[in-house]
Amino acid sequence: MSGVIVHLPRESGGADGEPRADAVTLRLGPGEVARFGRGPASVPVELRLDDPAISRLAGEIRVTDDHWQLTNHSTAHSYLVENPEGAGEYLRVPPRRIGAPIPFEFSRVVLPTRGEATVSFQVFAPDHLYLDPDAMGVPWGNRTVTAYSLNETATYFLVLVALCEPRLRDQSRVAVPTTPRIVERLSGHLASGELTARAVSSHIDYLAEEKLRVGAPDSPEPGRSDRRNGKREEIVGLALRFGLVREEHLALLPPLARTGGQERQAAR
Amino acid sequence: MSAARTTGDDLTDVLPPGCRVGDWVVTRLIGSGGWSTVYAARPAGRGPGRSGSAASPPDRGDVALKIMPTAGLSPRQVRSIVESARREVELGRRAGHPRLIGFREWFVLASPERPFLEGAIVLVMERATGSLRDLIDAGVPETDRGRLIAGICEGLAHLHRSGWVHADLKPENVLLGRDGSVKLSDFGLATELTGTHGYAPPMGTMDYFPPERWKAPLGELGVPIRPTADIWALGVIIHEVFAPGVPLFAGATPMARGAAVQEYGEGRAALRVDPAVPPLWRALATDCLAPTHQARARHTAESLLARMTTAHRRTRVVGAGRRGGRARTAALATALCGVSVAALCSDTARTAPGAPPGLVRVYNAERGCREPVDLDLRCSLGLAVDPLLPYTAENVVQTRVWHGDVLTTDCQMHGGDPVVDEEDRQSTRWFRIRLPAGSGPSTAWLPAVRTREVPALPECR
């Protein structure tokens, strides 16, 4: 369990379109709290949202069990929590609501501002757990279960299946597909729009760091690109070895344009 | 075990009683998990008449068959099942011990008439009468608790000494033999240590995960596992046995409890051991449940086991009133084979009909103090420092004794201070009792009215 990750991207939250100095990432363990708002003066906040329309203490995030709760300190504004992968799924957290439980693994918290633009940040809750396919239909409380589980409807899972596809199809030790290959393989398949190369990379990072916690965390990072490639190989190896991705998951991918795919591969 | 009641679809996959598997005949279904089904079975050579009805207690030759089907699974699933079976077989062959479930043999089933069992792996194991989970659900008798925990600890000490980690220790996997003895089982995740770590598949039972396990990285070989993971699970089990039904970590689901475990592991929450857990076991549980691997590493199964015996001996000698203390001491004596328990309370002597020479059994004339449940101080009896002086509070050693305790005596004395008991029996005879080392005076005196046995003893000089 990793708790919850709060991510404030670099480009958002800037006052009057000015970019913020840096992206902010907070990692919260179970029971931990992060406050957000315009900050400082009387109330220090862990996540500063620099917009005059946002109160000094706008709200707080509390990690509970495998999810998180949102408290809205605003007396006037509702906050929206969107599920970017949920085909328009969202929650509205009304003013002064305490501890609204948020069920999404991926959330975008949207705060209204005076202008057109909104201020938003992301919250990831990677600890959501899914039943073991082998153990369906039996009480699970005291059962031995797989400790790593993946949401098979999430985009990251689709990326993972695409990464594993060559090995699943012919069992040979073919190279793990590159990011552009994944983008191409999944193009036009996602309801939520096209995947960018950056999105694929961040899904891979998310899988490696939050879902599978690949490799020794204390290993140094010599040559970032080498490591990145190693990471892909490792994710695929683990997902296959421990049965997290199986043959039946290939059905999630768009049908293979057999000849086209092979030609492209040959051309590479 | 409720998992045995499967849905209609699965019923076809259950072997009926009388079905032959290798050299064994199935007598009934015991339970089923995700990967395996366990049946009770008897040797095929033996007629069904002798084994009696399905519900009768297991005979000596009876076994449990753990059948792991492989038909219709992907090669990868088969591989993980084979690996799990291999762990069990290897551990069973190389680390046999009275506190581990006995492993007999294994084979691959050829079953043309039952395609779902074609190629299934069958492990043949010693038959147990039930699990600690069943016992916890039914209520563990207070007198058995210490013995059971010591038994688990003994099994763990052996496993760890042999270089293995169980990795899925929980009451479901603690079985009970025909004589009520503890038998650790289910070594499907057990791992052999290579250096300080072993590696287990990324599986387990969340309520028994130590805090560090929630953040454990996954590698090529699986999740790193250390013996301290078993020690944590032992702490959880101690609490479950001594405070049944009281959650150690709050939460409605295993995930919620896992979050509480992590909060504790990161120092944001305190460990709340139920007050019902007696002090000795509370101390042991607290050490087993130290928040980090480093803090837990000091407490090995072996050192914990030693504390269970010595702390016990001391408790008894100091005589502090402990709930169920006496019963535990007696029980420990049976559980800890090879560990010498103070002669002050020897189980073999206790069960013998009439104490042999040199031993006297304490008798309390007060009826209410003869119940073996409580070590109430009010029910304790004193041993005199000097049998010639009045038998009063000033003239007794610190050591208290209770009804049923068996004491070692080396001689008797007639003509001491006369003592009258609650049943009006009177005697001037006293027995000299040997006290365990380290308890101040090495001997003290028990009035003869405090026992119903009169061993033949030499007169004290």
Q: Does B189 touch chain A (CB under 8 A)?
A: yes
Same domain? For B31 and B91 the reply is: yes
Decide if A83 contacts A154 (C-beta within 8 A): no
- Of the candidates A63, A139, A242, the beta carbon closest to that of B3 is on A139
Please judge whether B205 and A145 are an interchain contact, meaning their C-beta atoms are less than 8 angstroms apart. yes
B262, part of any domain: yes
Same domain? For B247 and B318 the reply is: yes
Q: Does B62 touch chain A (CB under 8 A)?
A: no
Alpha-carbon torsion, ordered B24, B25, B31, B34, to 10 deg: 60
What domains are defined for chain A?
A: 4-124 (2.60.200.20), 133-267 (no CATH)
Please judge whether B259 and A66 are an interchain contact, meaning their C-beta atoms are less than 8 angstroms apart. yes
H or E stretch at A185 = helix A179-185
CA nearest to B203 within chain A: A146
Q: Where does a domain end: B97, B127, B157?
A: B127
B335, part of any domain: no
Q: Using H for helix, E for strand and C for coil, what is the string for chain B?
A: CHHHCCCHHHHCCCCCCCCEECCEEEEEEEEECCCCEEEEEEECCCCHHHHCCCCCCCCCCCEEEEEECCCCCCHHHHHHHHHHHHHHHHHHHHCCCCCECCEEEEEECCCCCCHHHCCCEEEEEECCCEEHHHHHHHCCCHHHHHHHHHHHHHHHHHHHHCCEECCCCCHHHEEECCCCCEEECCCCCCEECECCEEEECCEECHHHCCHHHHHCCEECCEEEECHHHHHHHHHHHHHHHHCCCCCCCCCCCHHHHHHHHHHHHCCCCCCCCCCCCCHHHHHHHHHHCCCCHHHHHCCCHHHHHHHHHHHHHHHHHHCCCCECHHHHHHHHHHHCCCCCCCHHHCHHHHHCCCCCCCEEEECCCCHHHHCCCECCHHHCEEEECCCCCCCCHHHEEEEEECCCCEEEEEEEECCCCCEECCCCCEECCEEEEECCCCCCCCEEEEEHHHECCCCCCCECC
Same domain? For B115 and B195 the reply is: no
Same domain? For B200 and B215 the reply is: yes
Q: Which residues of A touch B77 (CB under 8 A)?
A: 134, 243, 246
CA nearest to B269 within chain A: A31
B460, part of any domain: no
Q: Which residues of A touch B2 (CB under 8 A)?
A: 139
- Of the candidates A141, A215, A241, the beta carbon closest to that of B254 is on A141
pLDDT for B343 equals 31
Which of B14, B218, B220, B253 to probe by mutation at the A interface, max A CB count within 10 Å?
Answer: B218
Residue A80 in 3-state DSSP?
A: strand
- Distance between A117 CA and the closest CA of chain B, angstroms: 36
Decide if B258 contacts B208 (C-beta within 8 A): no
pLDDT for A13 equals 44
pLDDT for A62 equals 95
Only one residue has tokens 């049943």, namely: B423
Q: Where does a domain end: B103, B127, B151?
A: B127
Q: Where does a domain end: B79, B109, B127?
A: B127
B379, part of any domain: yes
- Distance between A217 CA and the closest CA of chain B, angstroms: 7
pLDDT for B334 equals 41
B98, part of any domain: yes
Under 8 Å CB pairs connecting chains A and B tally to 116
- Distance between A156 CA and the closest CA of chain B, angstroms: 18
Q: Does B204 touch chain A (CB under 8 A)?
A: yes
CA nearest to A215 within chain B: B219
pLDDT for A227 equals 46
- Of the candidates A127, A141, A216, the beta carbon closest to that of B217 is on A216
Q: Does B69 touch chain A (CB under 8 A)?
A: no
B459, part of any domain: no
Same domain? For B175 and B306 the reply is: yes
pLDDT for A158 equals 93
**Residue-by-residue pLDDT tens, chain A, 268 positions:** 568 999 998 754 444 545 555 788 899 988 899 999 988 777 788 998 888 888 889 999 999 888 999 999 999 999 999 998 877 899 999 999 999 999 999 999 999 888 778 889 999 999 888 877 665 555 555 666 666 778 888 999 999 999 999 988 876 667 788 899 899 999 888 877 788 999 999 999 999 988 888 865 444 444 444 444 578 888 998 888 888 888 889 999 988 765 444 444 444 4
Q: Which residues of B touch A168 (CB under 8 A)?
A: none
Q: What's the CATH number where B256 sits?
A: 1.10.510.10
Same domain? For B412 and B377 the reply is: yes
CA nearest to B217 within chain A: A213
CA nearest to B10 within chain A: A137
Please judge whether B34 and A138 are an interchain contact, meaning their C-beta atoms are less than 8 angstroms apart. yes
Q: Which residues of A touch B209 (CB under 8 A)?
A: 147
Cβ within 8 Å of A, B 233-262: 251, 253-256, 258-260, 262
Q: Does B12 touch chain A (CB under 8 A)?
A: no
Same domain? For B351 and B231 the reply is: no
B338, part of any domain: no
Please judge whether A142 and B170 are an interchain contact, meaning their C-beta atoms are less than 8 angstroms apart. yes
Residue A18: CB atoms within 10 A of its CB come to 9
Q: Does B203 touch chain A (CB under 8 A)?
A: yes
Please judge whether B76 and A243 are an interchain contact, meaning their C-beta atoms are less than 8 angstroms apart. yes
Q: Which residues of B touch A149 (CB under 8 A)?
A: none
- Of the candidates B33, B80, B268, the beta carbon closest to that of A243 is on B80
Q: What's the CATH number where B77 sits?
A: 3.30.200.20
- Of the candidates B168, B222, B223, the beta carbon closest to that of A144 is on B168
Same domain? For B181 and B302 the reply is: yes
The ranges of chain B with pLDDT < 70 are 1-12, 33-34, 46-58, 311-357, 368, 371-378, 437-440
Tokens of A58: 């706008």
Which of A69, A132, A142, A246 to probe by mutation at the B interface, max B CB count within 10 Å?
Answer: A142
Same domain? For B165 and B261 the reply is: yes
Residue type, B48: P
Tokens of A137: 């239909």
pLDDT for A172 equals 66
Same domain? For B375 and B317 the reply is: no
Q: State how many domains chain B has.
A: 3
- Of the candidates B168, B170, B259, the beta carbon closest to that of A65 is on B259
pLDDT for B375 equals 57
Partners of A177 in the β-ladder = none
- Distance between B431 CA and the closest CA of chain A, angstroms: 53
Tokens of A82: 């969107």
Range of the domain at B376: 343-450
Same domain? For B145 and B73 the reply is: no
Same domain? For B285 and B158 the reply is: yes
B193, part of any domain: yes
Decide if B293 contacts B244 (C-beta within 8 A): no
Q: Is B14 buried (19+), middle (13-18) or exposed (0-12) by CB count in 10 A?
A: middle
Decide if B315 contacts B405 (C-beta within 8 A): no
ipTM score of complex: 0.77
pLDDT for B341 equals 31
Cβ within 8 Å of A, B 17-46: 33-35
